[in-house]
Chain A
Amino acid sequence: MMGRRSTGGTAIDRGQPVGFSFDGRRYMGFAGDTLASALLANGVRVVGRSFKYHRPRGIYTAGPEEPNALVALRRGARHEPNTRATMIELHEGLEATSQNRWPSLHFDLMGINDRLSALIPAGFYYKTFMWPSKAWMTYERWIRRAAGLGTAPLERDPDRYEHRHAHCDLLIAGGGPAGLMAALAAGRAGLRVILCDERAQFGGSLLRETFAVGGGSGADWARVAVAELAAMPKVTLLARTTAAGLFDHGTATLIERAADHMGEPPPFVPRQRRWTIRARRTLLATGAIERPLVFAGNDRPGVMLASAMRAYATQYAVLPGTRTAVFANNDGGYRTALDLSAAGVEVVAVIDSRAAAPSALVDRVRARGIEIFAAHAVTATRGRFGLTSVDVVALEQPEARRGIVCDSLAVSGGLNPTAHLHCHAGGKLDWDERRLCFVPARGRADVQCIGAARGIFSPAECFRDGAQAGAKAVAALGNAAAPPTIPSVEDEADRPPEALWVVPGGGKKRFVDIQDDVTAGDVGLAAREGYVSVEHLKRYTTLGMGTDQGKTSNVNGLALLAGHRGQAIPSVGTTTFRPPYTPITIGTLVGRETGRHFMPIRRTAMHEWHEAQGAVMIEAGLWMRPRCYPRPGETPAQAVEREAAHVRKAVGLVDVSTLGKIDVQGPDATEFLQRVYANNWANLPVGKARYGIMLREDGIVFDDGTTSRIGEFRYFMTTTTANAAAVLLHLEDLLQVAWPELRVQVTSETEQWAAMALAGPRSRAVLSRAIEGLDVSDAALPFMGVGAGRIAGAPVRVFRISFSGELAYEINAPADFGRAVWEALLSAGGGEGIAPYGTEAMGVLRIEKGHVAGPELDGRTTAADLGLGRLVSARKPDFVGKHLLGRPGLVDPARLRLVGLVPADGKSRIRAGSQIAVEPAALASSLGHVTSTATSPALGHPIALALLRGGLERKGETLHALYPLDGSAVAVRVVEPVFVDPEGARLRG
């Protein structure tokens, strides 16, 4: 059998032939074709292999619900797997390949699964590969290859994806009769309207169906309506745009395929665009999706939804075969037979599961010489790579079987309103026993389903419903306008379908979910094994999973489950509908936020200088910081050791601009600090700095830093780099929520100041040479003194504080002057041999001094754990963290407390993250862990800080630092955590 084209075709342009390839073979189609219609027109019947049994599969639908025809597009970096051939617009040079077959579509080795299907029922993998548990890793790889979708490309996507935001009064999803009428009503009344449709052309079912609208074709009516809408300045028409999700407060996500129909996007056009719409009201005119019928062999290529067959015939002039039969439980079967017959197909039979149909339809079908089988059903199909015949039996006399030779079979089991978006917005569904479908019920006031999306399947009614909903939206938003005139529609009222959830009489391969290879038997097995919840059914059988998320299968599946449970369909319920409505690319989610645009980068004022010096940079949150400055021939580790040693013996300069800086001002500033910090702030004179420790309200240490009093009512607070934002938020919370009576303002100044620490025994000499207007002698600027002066003409603040344990000054300059001040200090220090040092050497120096930092302030330690207990005020009546500090768990002597560690052999490296135990192999009885490690240039051997059960009570003990990742163990001795200058003589020098 070969497919063929008849005359006509509303969607295609025969003047524009288009060449494309499928699995390497060249074919021709027309502009306006989908990949699916063009493949059918070329007689390609098998387009994929099924997920589990590797059965040959053909194109099953003409829309977004397609379960079978998943293909990969393009090659190399633009390769895109798992696209639906029914939604791909044909364009010159399009390359498509089939998936889940090896080595080829027509010879697939895994097709053996089909023969073995009795051995691999639902839940087979769960049951079989449970044991031995470790082997799952091996099984999984094999299973995933056998049951596969396409493969993702490994190269970087060369195309751009964009995000756009828009507001509107009325968002309308779906441009069929209801959506277009609503848009006309709202647009004419002057509302800001966004109308989107997932197809290239607006019109929805009007493009597919043959009934006359307003005296002409539905497609013509749609064209006129779209032209009117396009001329309205406040109406935005978005074709090729799927409403993928509906969210809170009128938010919708639309995915516009801006260039998918062009192969390669032209300049300045993204491949896809993600719209975030904020709509005051939303109308869902998303139509309905036809249900298949469940009978043996219903997946064979050539079996297709009736609505799809009509669409291919009307829009693309593609005839699905030469001899076609129709199998339905509703009047749509007769209409399909008439449409196909009118398009030139030889329709041989209408098989209607119902005993009676409207006589007018029956007469018209008979008049065309089509045999009608009332109260009959298809019980089997034949044909290896495509349909060759079907078996038909009378439902009341199943023994009387008749074969019908046909190469295509249209099936219809009724319609399901597409209410997915209604459910995204929290809407409920009700079962409609008359129309045999779930219809949208209670939902959000600003979201309304219209037309077929709410179960109105008559075209005339859809026009009316859209016009009314549009007028209602206009009125609700305070405008007024007469609703548009409803076109006359040549329409006959259909009788509702009669339930036929599964064709009786058995047969193994009665597929319910064609994409996931779930059969009626699998649903029965799940029910027998106790998976009677619809959510369990889904997980156990995979019914409704996959790229189509059960758009054609869910309702049939749960109807079958209801039958097995002996319950009504509504009491079984549905699984949850979650966004997105159809699959969307990762690219469109990410948009432009790729590579370096993923996160902003924060650079200090001295950044370019660091780079020019060849510094190795490191990310600290969003900040870029110099890690070290290797000299020619030096490794980074050697550079770190040199830089740290140089600070101890001479002088170094480090960029500390990333520290959080907060200006605290107001008459109650001192009282505020008293309550914010655990230590005492009542008596700090102006011009002095103090180390402060901040707790959380639960008593755990939050942050630490140095805060200086720079005026009677003004303090300059610093925080750790990591907590700069969190501390500001904490202060704002306290001031605005807990203590609104305190007259204090807090302002972040982190980025306003460039900060650098000048450290080392020669730092005073350097500073005194560089600065004007400030006496930096020990008498004038003692330890913890604060002053102001000018360096390189710039006003600076000088804080005599030390993180390194050396004589040191922290110098803050307005950020714009940061680099000039930095360079002035370096040049003033030339004679003293000044050298810049990075964050790594800074870390080595602080570990040598036992200063705690991020690894120790891990959100679990108290001040006492860190050896800072003496700072916590016992006298202050109130500060954050005071009241819960005394809980038994926080004062338990067995808590982990800060200690120092040195290797027992004086040379072995201790690795951060190691667990500490008495015995080298006793990982289970961990006594704590190593937090920070360094090789100390001052001591000439490795050192570490650790949090150890019992803390310094274990001083002198030899324990073991175990590194479970490679099983190594290092014998360590417990020592005081301050390795260098424990008396602090150097920093007071």
Chain B
Amino acid sequence: MLLIECPWCGPREQVEFTYAGDAAPRRPQPTAGEAAFFDYVYLRDNPRGPHRELWHHTGGCRRYLVASRDTLTHAISATSPVHGARK
């Protein structure tokens, strides 16, 4: 079981979190067109190694965070708020 450092709550058990996928895709501008939204909704890399991904602290502060997790070793090198520094 992973131990995830929530930027607001500290290190917590994985069972408190909900995985929310790759952190890289950002919702396109409304004018970006169908192809951009198609990429945003469907296309994901499947990297072997470092991966920046979103986790939601569902059983805690209900904040999303970004974890840098190695998909091979599951080692998490860093966690951070989604947008910039912690407010």
Contacts and interface: CB of A to CB of B under 8 A. Distances in A.
A698 interface: yes
Interface in A718-749: 729, 732-733, 736-740
A877 B28 CA distance: 13
B83 A276 contact: no
B33 A883 contact: yes
**In the complex, which of the residues A697, A736, A740, A887 has the most CB atoms of chain B within 10 Å of its own CB atom?**
A736
Interface residues of B, number: 30
A884 interface: yes
Chain A interface size range: 20 to 34
A502 B36 CA distance: 63
Contact of A278 (B3, B18, B63): B3
B20 A733 contact: yes
A174 interface: no
B34 A276 contact: no
A276 B37 contact: no
A729 B1 contact: no
A729 B3 contact: no
A238 B74 CA distance: 29
Contacts of B82: 736-737, 740
Given A278-B3, A729-B18, A733-B20, A738 B27 contact: yes
Interface in A866-904: 877-878, 882-884, 886-887
Contacts of A882: 30
A249 B3 contact: yes
Interface string B24-40: 00111011111011101
Contacts of B83: 736, 740
Contacts of A123: none
**In the complex, which of the residues A250, A739, A878 has the most CB atoms of chain B within 10 Å of its own CB atom?**
A878
A248 B2 CA distance: 6
B60 to A, nearest CB: 13
A324 B19 CA distance: 61
Contacts of A697: 27, 37, 40-41
B73 A249 contact: no
Contacts of B58: 729
A247 B56 contact: no
B44 interface: no
A737 B54 contact: yes
Given A738-B26, A877-B30, A887-B34, A732 B62 contact: yes
Given A732-B56, A883-B37, A884-B38, A276 B64 contact: no
Contacts of B40: 697
Contacts of B54: 737
B64 A426 contact: no
A836 B28 CA distance: 49
Interface in B1-21: 1-3, 18, 20
A243 to B, nearest CB: 15
A250 B3 contact: yes
Contacts of A247: 1
A934 to B, nearest CB: 36
Contacts of B37: 697, 883-884
A770 B51 CA distance: 59
Given A444-B73, A738-B27, A884 B1 contact: no
A698 B41 contact: yes
A56 to B, nearest CB: 45
A379 interface: no
A251 interface: yes
Contacts of B34: 883-884, 886-887
A739 B37 CA distance: 16
B83 to A, nearest CB: 5
Contacts of A426: 73
Interface in B46-75: 54, 56, 58, 62-64, 73-74
B18 to A, nearest CB: 7
A247 B83 CA distance: 31
Nearest to A884: B37
Nearest to A879: B30
A248 B70 CA distance: 12
A878 B34 CA distance: 12
A212 B36 CA distance: 75
Contacts of B31: 877
A884 B41 contact: yes
Interface of A: 247-251, 276, 278, 426, 444, 697-698, 729, 732-733, 736-740, 877-878, 882-884, 886-887
Given A248-B1, A729-B58, A740-B83, 20 more contacts: A247-B1, A249-B1, A249-B74, A278-B3, A426-B73, A697-B27, A697-B37, A697-B40, A697-B41, A729-B56, A733-B20, A733-B64, A737-B27, A737-B54, A738-B26, A877-B31, A882-B30, A883-B37, A884-B41, A886-B34
22 contacts: A248-B74, A249-B3, A249-B74, A251-B1, A276-B1, A278-B3, A697-B27, A698-B41, A729-B18, A732-B62, A732-B64, A733-B20, A733-B64, A736-B63, A737-B26, A737-B27, A737-B64, A737-B82, A738-B27, A740-B83, A883-B28, A884-B41
Q: Which 10 A-B pairs have the closest CB atoms?
A: A878-B30, A883-B37, A738-B27, A248-B74, A249-B3, A736-B64, A251-B1, A740-B83, A877-B30, A697-B41
